[in-house]
Amino acid sequence: MTPLPLADRATLQARWLDLTRHVLPRSAAARDWPVSADHCFQRILLDNALGGCWYDHVAGRPAYAHISDTELIAAVRLGEAVLAGADLHALNARSLAWRRAAKRAAAAPVTAPVSRDA
């Protein structure tokens, strides 16, 4: 794995886009991964790098342009780790679990507290 320079944002973004748009999708079929589309890799890597649904942590789109250098480095390193054999099935399952939990929370009815003084 090539070390990622901390100060070179353009290099980080270029590696992110190459990994998620080209390298990982091309590798998907041969590795029996659960996803093959670029946006799926981006979701999985960003969610896992940020510790939850990326859109709950990022104030703009595209996400890679609005996260910190440290977060982008974490996402790129995670993509490199997947290429090296990290368990993409587990990373995908974690990402989907966060999203199911967020969806359930958003769908839960909001109720006012019941007053016992009446």
pLDDT tens column, 34-84: 999 999 999 999 999 999 999 999 999 999 999 999 999 999 999 999 999
Q: Has residue 112 been placed in a domain?
A: no
Q: Has residue 114 been placed in a domain?
A: no
Q: Which of 105, 6, 87, 104 is nearest to 48 (CA)?
A: 87
Q: Has residue 43 been placed in a domain?
A: yes
Q: Has residue 116 been placed in a domain?
A: no
Segments forming the whole domain that contains residue 102: 9-107
Q: Has residue 36 been placed in a domain?
A: yes
Amino acid in position 116: R
Give 3-state DSSP helix, strand, coil % of the chain, rounded to 5.
Answer: 65, 0, 35
Q: Has residue 4 been placed in a domain?
A: no
pTM equals 0.84
Q: Has residue 39 been placed in a domain?
A: yes
Find out whether 69 and 12 touch, Cβ atoms under 8 Å.
yes
